[in-house]
Structure 1
Amino acid sequence: MIEAAMIWNEPNNKSHWDPELDPDWSKFAEHVRLAGTAIRAVNPTLPRVLGGMSPIDPLWVQRMEGHGALDHVDVIAVHGFPLDWNLWTIHQWPEKIAEIEAVTDKPVWVTEVGVGSFGAEEVQVFGMSKTAELLVGRVPRIFWYSLFDLPMEWGATTRHREAEGSSYYRHFYMGLIRADGTPKPALDEYARVAGEMGLMQWFHFEDPRLDSAVEWMRKLGTRKLRTGLSWADSFRPNATDWFDRQMDALAEFDVTLTFCFTPEHLGLAPHHTSPAQEPQRFADFCAWAIERYAPAQSAAAAAE
């Protein structure tokens, strides 16, 4: 079941949206307005989530409101990694949520929170325990990033890669399960709250980890998953077959489905972070995916 549609991922982070091409985020806001309208037209009851901001920034939320984007979403999402990348402590999570609640009356979801094992696996155990203590019951949705470590040979989606030093290499240690398939100590800590804290897991095109992820989530008792469909991937050969396989495999979970990544040939610049030349084409992709995987009649049937 698709329980929500998220419009983009970390749009105020230059690894996912190019601020040089859109310095005031007015182009991004147009993408949100068009996509939000398109999703609502296909499924009027499906919650629309503004792509999780990173860093957490109330001024950016107010900017989005000024551009009219908040009229076309139902939820505001935030991402936080205080033990790995952010310049605040893990104990400040309630304060960070309150900062966003102060500038909007929309619900606030934490659609990515995580602690890596780069420094020590014991740090991740502490981070999982403290995150659950601070956030479970505080916000309606929490998604831990992530189930699997990112394999080193795949590369992380950042702008400067190895030049970022340890900030780059931390991307490969955010999972509860190592790249070789063995569990880390923090997995047991997550299992204690799996019914209350979902998982966030990106699946790469034709990802060989898909079936294993489903098996692990069943074993852990996870009910809620955030993942994505890449607009750029939709132009690959056999893309629809892969999307169908992914969504069919995840059908038993409550999925928040993220739409992002500009195809190189459709951007103002040839990069996945670029605004689209024609933002309506991104909205059309969102509408296509909702029509295929979360049409209005399926939502009504689920409610019955």
Structure 2
Amino acid sequence: MIEAAMIWNEPNNKSHWDPELDPDWSRFAEMAILAADAIARENAALTKVLGGISPIDAGFITRMKEFGVLDHVDAVAAHGFPLDWNLWQIHEWPQKLGEIAAVTDLPIWVSEVGVSTFGAEEIQLWGLRRTAELLLGNSPRIQWYSLYDLPLAWGATTRHREAEGSSYYRHFYMGLLREDGTPKPALEEFVRHTPQMGLVQWFHFEDPRLDDAVAWMKRLGVTNLRTGLSWADSFRPNALDWFDRQMAALADFDVTVTFCFTPEHRGLQPHHTSPPQIPEEFAEFCAAMTRRYAPGVTAATASPPRASAA
């Protein structure tokens, strides 16, 4: 079942939101509020999560607070990769969460954390163990990225691709399973931390790994999963058939579904990172997906909160 709807992915990362088109994040804030309210109208009980930030930046969360975005969501999220991309050490995780907690009282999810095996598979094993020590029990959601390595032939979703050097190629080695489906050493360590630790697995359009991924996750004891439904993909032929298949396959998990990625023909610029020309269209997509896959109690019919005891 879907337990949470996440609004965008890494909005403060230029690989996922174009800072040149939205230098003060006001466009993103407007879109996020519209999306959160649209989701709430379809299912008032669904947890709404502000897209996980990367880098972890309390200033961005403060900016969202100033725009009023935090009044429309139930949690915020952070992504961290200190052994691969971030300019801080893994031992600083508690400090990083503390920086966000200092500017908001909302729950803080760690909705994406992982370690690449680009350099050595043993690094991932140590990193997973240390991450579990630092984070489990300190956040309501810890979701490890990811189950599968990204196939080299598919390409990673970044703005500058090979120009990023080794930073780009690290994207392809984040899995607990290699591209051919064989386990890496960290897989056994991961099992020690399920179901408390969940997974992130992005499924590409008509991804052939879907059924095998479900079987692996059940075998590993995974109960919570973060994945995505792409607004851009919704314009592909047979998009709803694929979305239906994906969400049906994941029905046994507590799913955080991430809504993101601008269709080229709906952006201010023809790129998935672009703010949409009409932010209400993204909100309409979020509403339609919630209505289709997480129908529930609407705001108009939700029970009033219980009165506090005198």
TM range (shorter): over 0.9
Tell me the equivalent position of 1:292. Answer: 292
- Preserved CA contact (<8 Å) 2:44 2:297: no
Paired positions, count: 299
Name the amino acid aligned to 1:62. Answer: T
Aligned to 1:221: 221
What is the CA–CA distance in structure 2 between the aligned matches of 1:56 and 1:134, rounded to whole Å?
16
Using the alignment, how far apart are the partners of 2:85 and 2:10 within structure 1? 14
2:198 counterpart residue number: 198
Counterpart code for 2:53: M
CA-CA distance at 1:297 after TM superposition: 5.2
Shift of 1:222: 0.2
SS of aligned partner of 2:4: strand
Q: TM-score, normalised by structure 2?
A: 0.95
Matched residues in 2 for 1:297 and 1:195: separation?
Answer: 28
Q: Which residue of 2 aligns with 1:84?
A: 84
Contact 2:45 2:297 in 1 (8 A): no
- Structure 2 residue 184 is matched with structure 1 residue 184: yes
1:41-190 matches, cutoff 5 A = 41-190=41-190
Q: Where does structure 1 lack aligned partners over 5 or more consecutive residues?
A: none
Deviation of 1:72 after TM superposition, in Å, equals: 1.1
Instruction: Identify the residue that residue 306 of structure 2 maps to in structure 1.
Output: none
CA–CA separation in structure 1 for the residues paired with 2:248 and 2:180: 25
Q: Residue 136 of structure 1 aligns to which amino acid in structure 2?
A: L
Q: Give structure 2 stretches of 5+ with no counterpart.
A: 303-310
Task: Determine the C-alpha separation between the residues in 1 that align with 2:276 and 2:128.
Answer: 37
Q: How does 1:1-20 map to 2 (within 5 A)?
A: 1-20=1-20
After superposition, give the CA deviation of every residue in 1:67-89 in whole Å (9 maximum; x if it has no partner): 11111111010000000000000
Moved over 4 A (4+): none
Q: Which residue of 2 aligns with 1:237?
A: 237
Letter paired with 2:258: T
Task: Provide the secondary structure at the position in 2 that maps to 1:151.
Answer: coil
Equivalent position SS for 2:82: coil
| Deviations 1:41-79, CA, capped at 9 Å, x for gaps | 010111100000000000110111111111111101000
Which structure: greater helix fraction?
1
Aligned to 2:308: none
Q: SS in structure 2 opposite 1:153? A: coil
Query: Any idea what SS the aligned residue of 1:152 has?
Result: coil
Deviates more, 1:64-73 or 1:263-272: 64-73
Question: Partner letter of residue 3 of structure 1?
Answer: E
- Percentage identity across paired residues of the two chains: 72
Counterpart Cα distance in 2 of 1:72 and 1:279: 16
Q: What's the secondary structure of 1:252's corresponding residue?
A: coil
Aligned-partner Cα distance in 2 for 1:6–1:24:
21
**C-alpha deviation, 1:193, in angstroms:** 0.5
Q: Distance in 2 between matches of 1:163 and 1:243?
A: 33
Write the letter of the residue equivalent to 1:10: E
User: Which amino acid letter does the alignment assign opposite residue 168 of structure 1?
Assistant: Y
Aligned-residue RMSD, C-alpha: 1.0
